[in-house]
Amino acid sequence: MSEATLLESRVDKLEQANRRLKLALGALLLVMAAVPLIGAAMPEQIPQVITAREFVVIDEDGTTRAVISAEGIGHNDENGNSRVRMNADGFTYWDADDTLRALMDYDGFFSYDENQILRASMEADGFAYWDADDTLRALMDYDGFFSYDENQILRASMEADGFWYWDENEILRAGMNADGFNDYEEDEPPRHRLLGRERQPGLGHALRLRTILVQGTR
């Protein structure tokens, strides 16, 4: 190979290397130029604050399933019926038959059966339970625990001064306190205690809520 041919070959290799260098440099400059553009676009894709009056979630059938707004948070079933509502006033729950079953607000917690009859309430002054016939069966408050039969007659109480039991005729039959245990015969003079009667008026708040809140709040 002559010197001229060798020199020409080297020149060709140098030109090829030069072209590759130019391509690499051009690609690098292109990437560097794109970085500011990407950075400028990112704030638009991921905003720092999202502002809206209401957020609505729908399912594949277009039925509204959840709503978040200034009025609160709501959840609907697949038929679009309200099932849960939570707002500044409290929490409300309806079953699949659109019957109010639970309510919690600043007054306390209230549970209803399938007939929308108040069955239990828990408030600041105590706990109360009613049966399916809307009869008070149990009450627990700062005075103690009180149990009633199906006729709403006080049958048992547990208080600071002891435990007491009455029969269906409202006659005291047994008692246990710091002095010991005592039982009484039917023919002994009635020894009624008034605690059961005194606690009845205290239920007025819960009874009033039964009529006010039974319709619920949508």
**Per-residue pLDDT tens for 142-170?**
889 999 999 988 999 998 888 988 888 88
- pLDDT reported for residue 169: 85
Query: Taking 50 as the threshold, does the pLDDT of residue 101 lie above it?
Result: yes
Give residue-wise pLDDT tens across range 165-197: 888 888 888 888 888 887 777 665 444 443 333
Query: Taking 90 as the threshold, does the pLDDT of residue 110 lie above it?
Result: yes
Any domain includes 71: no
- pLDDT reported for residue 49: 81
Look up the domain containing 160 and give its range.
108-213
Q: Within this chain, do residues 128 and 199 fall inside the same structural domain, yes or no?
A: yes
Q: Within this chain, do residues 126 and 33 fall inside the same structural domain, yes or no?
A: no
Of 96 and 216, the one with more pLDDT: 96
Any domain includes 81: no
Any domain includes 79: no
Q: Nearest Cα to 145, choosing from 169, 122, 123, 128?
A: 128
Distant-in-sequence, close-in-space partners of 192: CB < 8 Å, separation ≥ 6: 166, 170, 171, 172
* Backbone angles phi and psi of 168, in degrees to 5: -65, -15
3-class SS of residue 19 = helix
Global pTM value = 0.60
pLDDT band at 208 (very low <50, low <70, confident <90, very high): very low
Q: Within this chain, do residues 114 and 209 fall inside the same structural domain, yes or no?
A: yes
Any domain includes 171: yes
Distant-in-sequence, close-in-space partners of 184: CB < 8 Å, separation ≥ 6: 171, 172, 173, 174, 175, 191
Q: Within this chain, do residues 209 and 135 fall inside the same structural domain, yes or no?
A: yes
- Boundary residue ending a domain (31, 46, 61): 46
Query: Taking 90 as the threshold, does the pLDDT of residue 120 lie above it?
Result: yes
Q: Within this chain, do residues 41 and 117 fall inside the same structural domain, yes or no?
A: no
3-state percent helix, strand, coil for the chain, nearest multiple of 5: 30, 35, 35
Any domain includes 152: yes
Q: Within this chain, do residues 203 and 116 fall inside the same structural domain, yes or no?
A: yes
Any domain includes 198: yes
Taking a C-beta distance cutoff of 8 angstroms, is the pair 126, 139 a contact?
yes
Q: Within this chain, do residues 112 and 209 fall inside the same structural domain, yes or no?
A: yes
- pLDDT reported for residue 147: 92
Any domain includes 204: yes
Any domain includes 86: no
Domain count, the chain: 2
